[in-house]
Amino acid sequence: MWRLASNFLGKASLSRKPHSLTQKHQFLVFFRCIYNHSASRPSLSIWRRKKEMGKEGLMAAKELKRLQSNPVRLDRFIKSNVSRLLKSDLLAVLAEFQRQDQVFLCMKLYDVVRKEIWYRPDMFLFRDMLMMLARNKKVDEANQVWRDLRREEVLFDQHTFGDIIRAFLDNGLPSKAMDIYEEMRQSPDPPISLPFRVILKGLIPFPELREEVKDDFLELFPDMIVYDPAEDLFEDQEREKDREDE
């Protein structure tokens, strides 16, 4: 669209004659079309936009980290200061704490965000929280977030399900991963093959669970092939697991 505009402008600028009223009208119509085209595009989810922290957000983040060992003062600061932050700063602080794996503070801000007047349930908020909790092996907190997700009737797409399940598998939480897998199987979103392949790869250290998912995969996609790892890979991983248990 913008290439067409530049071409149009380039041709017009080469003309030695002054612009006529018709040419001006053409310019006006052309740029109005461009503006309407841009305005009609759906806005990006607030959870997917780049989150830049302002001065107020930086100060709040620093104070939250300082007060986290003092529950009374922390809650007082959240009520008096954090709840007054601009939306952009609040989301930026939450995103930064997720990056730093500050589980306790993330859960505090997660509650604050969901009480804001502008809050609308969004898949990406819950995805980011669950991925962070999986990295930190926090099953109880993940269960709480999942209960909230269901209560707010948020639905994950199949790709997001696959990513979250894989995160729990990669962090040694197969039980929670399979709980979420059952939710995925009951989802109204039509199944697609790629998330299953992501999950099957993450299940290599858990051969029995992998066989269950493999059966589901072949039932759903009978014309597709699952490439199994060599048997000695399973044996090596079993030995590694036994060594860790000892």
| 60 and 132 part of one domain | no
- 87 inside domain: yes
Task: Look at the chain and report how many structural domains it folds into.
Answer: 2
pLDDT per residue as tens digits for the range 166-189 = 999 999 999 999 999 999 999 999
pLDDT over threshold 50, residue 16: no
**What pLDDT score does 53 carry?**
84
Q: Where a domain ends, among 63, 94, 117?
A: 117
pLDDT over threshold 70, residue 97: yes
| 84 and 125 part of one domain | no
pLDDT over threshold 80, residue 36: no
DSSP state for residue 49 in the 8-state scheme? S
pLDDT over threshold 80, residue 93: yes
In angstroms, rounded to a whole number, what is the distance separating the alpha carbons of residues 240 and 169? 16
DSSP H helical ranges for the chain? 2-14, 21-39, 55-67, 71-80, 87-99, 103-113, 123-135, 139-151, 158-170, 174-186, 193-202, 207-220, 231-245
CB 87 within 8 A of CB 54: no
Q: Which long-range contacts (CB under 8 A, 24 or more apart) does 105-111 make?
A: 105/64, 105/65, 105/68, 106/132, 107/141, 107/144, 108/64, 108/74, 108/78, 109/64, 109/82, 110/145
Residue ranges making up the domain that contains 192: 120-230
- 8 inside domain: no
**What pLDDT score does 235 carry?**
52
| 73 and 140 part of one domain | no
Average pLDDT over the chain reads: 82
State the CB neighbour count (10 A cutoff) for residue 99: 12
pLDDT over threshold 80, residue 42: no
**Residues across the chain:** 246
Average pLDDT of span 22-43: 44
CB 174 within 8 A of CB 166: no
- 65 inside domain: yes
In angstroms, rounded to a whole number, what is the distance separating the alpha carbons of residues 213 and 218? 9
| 189 and 93 part of one domain | no
Average pLDDT of span 150-159: 96
Structure tokens at 244: 């860790």
**What pLDDT score does 31 carry?**
44
| 141 and 204 part of one domain | yes
| 127 and 203 part of one domain | yes
In angstroms, rounded to a whole number, what is the distance separating the alpha carbons of residues 217 and 209? 12
Q: Where a domain ends, among 94, 117, 140?
A: 117
- 112 inside domain: yes
| Selection from 175, 170, 220, 238 nearest residue 199 by Cα | 170
| 138 and 178 part of one domain | yes
| 140 and 225 part of one domain | yes
**What pLDDT score does 228 carry?**
84
- 241 inside domain: no
- 22 inside domain: no
| 180 and 213 part of one domain | yes
- 102 inside domain: yes
CATH code at position 90: 1.25.40.10
| 179 and 103 part of one domain | no
- 105 inside domain: yes
